[in-house]
Structure 1
């Protein structure tokens, strides 16, 4: 399953991946297509068998702040949007930690990891607690159940903080457990997500430039935490925006779950994943965004949907036409669309192969150059002429073998004195493509 790895119509940002039993569960916010705001008034849960990560199951709605056609509200004190939840297991029960915008947050519980979750309580804080705790909001809660059974919550927007939660009821903040600025203030934005790997505690978070997911480590759940580096940056050669996610080990392989933007906004975010490595010294090398999802490579000989692009440059972007169709739109002169990576195999018996792409015309003419490995200095293996109408465009291209990234670089056919007036006119919209021999 390529990135984004959930079905076309689903928008799950702020993903917290958790393995319970033989399934991996994705908990996150719920965005809407083409929305002008973040998040929805409900949460949804998706999961997959750890041995079949290409088939994800939707378990439906799990928690609500507003009544809808099938559910009552779970929060009588607030009808604000739900942001960035987390779920942990304790003593056979599954606890949801909900952040409700500008409202007191809460804890809910279920006997099943997929929910639905029923309200237990708002956060309960000591009478003499610090002001930030008294608010009871707990922005972007990330929760850690340690090996000794103690429970910690990590939160914050612009300033990070943590506290210990009663392991007896899972919602009461213990007195004198508050700690501020566990991530230095000058480097923290939001999105705390704690994990323990061996004897090392990790905090994955979004730093001040929000495109990235960074991490810090400690030998204690209460810190101090030392900066480790960047894991993934969703703004490299792509329309970036806020990022939120975490790491998860599935069948011995580590992954970073994160999200990407669509519809030319910082909203409408979709769940993505990349393979990562945790080195013996505890460091996590930065990985690039790819089109792979849970795959090790993509097949160029199977149709590829345009919306799995991991490189978008020059103002083009992915948008949803309907729940089944997505295109890269606003493709103008100089735009670059890239995909990483395809395995072309080892068959070198042919000098050439064919390439076909499904496009929507924009009433103009242009050219789509096909490059491998790099959009600036890579080898051009062929090019398609783009016409003004909808249809399939073809090209005979050089046959290649091995593993390569593929890039499309666009140019128009306007020359002379008036060319400047046409440089921002869309050439086409890209829907899908395939190589064939």
Structure 2
């Protein structure tokens, strides 16, 4: 069984490429069904497995399928899966290829462990990715694309993440993306407490950002969301902290955008919500007072051309990623400890995976043994029914089982030659060595 991780992330691709490959939550289950069908066609596996993880920083496919043993089989498996991803997201595979990493077997396992522990994140040690990975696994389970191999991989992944969190200080010195959004805003405005803040979206990332901004007690906090009720829930929660809040519809943005000094956006929209013309109008109404815009969405919520406007300070998720690369030295000891734990757990998982490859052979040997036993027992019963001496029947039963048990090995040894015969002579004594239980 081949375990394969294929994807792109913030290390290998710019945001312009990541947003083209990203899946919205609604896309993932249909995509998983399509991916399973694709894997079935290119492998001998009747039950291929798949999971899709798609965040602002990465889109990754985790697959498990029989891909054959030859190098050509493995190349076909890899290339066809890259082509599937490109076709599914409507982009040219040649444009995607330079940014893709393909990790087979132990490399895929190690990568999953590192991702869950936050070692592959923009913010080393951050915890949000673990929740995102758990959601991806839950979605795969609901879609019926999570089988024995990936289920075991991810259960071990979550155990490793818990172990690393519990035994190292990997997250102790991290600056979260939400905290970075506040700090970048404070580069432009001396005090967030004197500003009006607008949050677009009401998901987990926006909720985290809102919590950090709320600590600065801004003059007003507004939440604009596609579903007004969801936006009202977040606004009400912030109001409980003593803030002045309101909720807006997305359709209100063109006429209300100019009222806000800081705008933080993170939605699941596949197209920009805020365009150049909308921001130009807002700046004109603000009489060119500066405005900070933080776009945490992938695909992006704010058109890239907005960054060219003189009075707009637009930051993307990659900009925040660069900002949070502080305190790295103080985390290196914890990173080293985490990597050591991961290496041990990768070895353990690969031992389990290799052991799974012997399961069909073990099942076949047990079945053959049961068939031989059933045959000899049935013959012994018939002899006893005829009144044969029980001791003689037992001797015959033992002799028959012994002969059948040794037949295959003796036959192979007698007909083997050269290196094959020498190999059998080394192996067989160990296979038939008597084991005596302690009394």
TM-score, normalised by the number of residues in structure 1? 0.23
Bigger share in strand: 1
Task: Kindly name which structure, 1 or 2, has the bigger radius of gyration based on alpha carbons.
Answer: 2
Which of structures 1 and 2 has the larger relative contact order (alpha carbons within 8 angstroms, sep 6+)? 2
Give TM-score, length-normalised by structure 2.
0.23
